[in-house]
Amino acid sequence: MQKHPLVKEILFSREQIKNRTSEIAQEIEKFYKTQNLKDNTLLLVGLLKGCIPFYAEFMANFNFECDTDFMVVSSYRGGTKTSGDPKIMLDVNTSLKDRDVLIVEDIIDSGYTLQYVKKYFLNRGAKSVRVLTLLDKPEGRQVVITPDWSCFTIANEFVIGFGLDYQERLRNLPYVAICDTTKLADWKW
């Protein structure tokens, strides 16, 4: 696996992500088999764009009836720090009324976006809203929110790869890595 020049350290390899996602899919499957879901179907809502690789990996391992939808909510707008003011750029098309929703997210950092989306879904009539995230960064938390399921917990570092970006780039790295932010100021693409 070739390391990108902006990578300071690879935290999780493609294989580690694949294995952990398979384990967590089984845990979530067992949980939802004990719940009384409308039409025995879970609604998976991916928060774009970062969720795409993780969402696909999770679905490939999730043996439970589900509907899928996506949403774009941003509080970063291209930088490395949150603005703290989430905005819906693209809403879900699926009715949320009486639905059990599992939000699939790439990372929980400040928590602003997830707190906002959970409240928004409940206000639109969702029966339950739970959160699955690839990465949980509790040191970055600025609001009280905890994922229901998390694949990995990380330190307060700026990470890239496997859906995570810097200015919309580097999402396609096949691993999760700490970005060498000292190189960003004069980096030439």
Kindly report, residue by residue over 34-53, the tens digit of the pLDDT.
Answer: 999 999 999 999 999 999 99
> Cα(175)–Cα(31) distance, rounded to whole angstroms?
28
Does the pLDDT at position 165 exceed 80?
yes
Q: How far apart are CA 99 and CA 183, in angstroms?
A: 45
Cis-peptide into 49, omega within 30 deg: yes
> How far is CA 75 from each of CA 45, 62, 85, rounded to the nearest angstrom?
18, 29, 6
Which residues pair with residue 48 across a beta bridge?
Answer: 72
pLDDT at 86: 87
Q: What is the pTM of this model?
A: 0.93
Reduced to 3 DSSP states, what percent helix, strand and coil does the chain have, rounded to the nearest 5?
A: 25, 30, 40
* Domain locations along the chain: 15-29+40-73+87-154
Domain 15-29+40-73+87-154 has CATH 3.30.465.10: no
Q: What is the pLDDT of residues 69-101, one digit of tens each?
A: 999 998 755 555 655 678 999 999 999 999 999
pLDDT of residue 79: 54
The confidence score (pLDDT) of residue 112 equals: 93
Q: Tell me how far apart the alpha carbons of residues 33 and 97 are, in angstroms, rounded to a whole number.
A: 20
Residues with active-site annotation? 109
Contacts of 143-150 with CB under 8 Å at 24 or more apart are 143/110, 143/111, 143/112, 143/115, 144/111, 145/108, 145/111, 145/114, 145/115, 145/118, 147/105, 147/108, 147/114, 149/24, 149/27, 149/28, 150/108
Specify the pLDDT at position 147: 97
Q: Are strands 128-136 and 66-74 parallel, antiparallel or unpaired?
A: unpaired
Residue with tokens 């906002």: 116
Question: At which residue do the structure tokens 């009280």 appear?
Answer: 144
Per-residue confidence band for 155, with pLDDT thresholds at 50, 70 and 90: very high
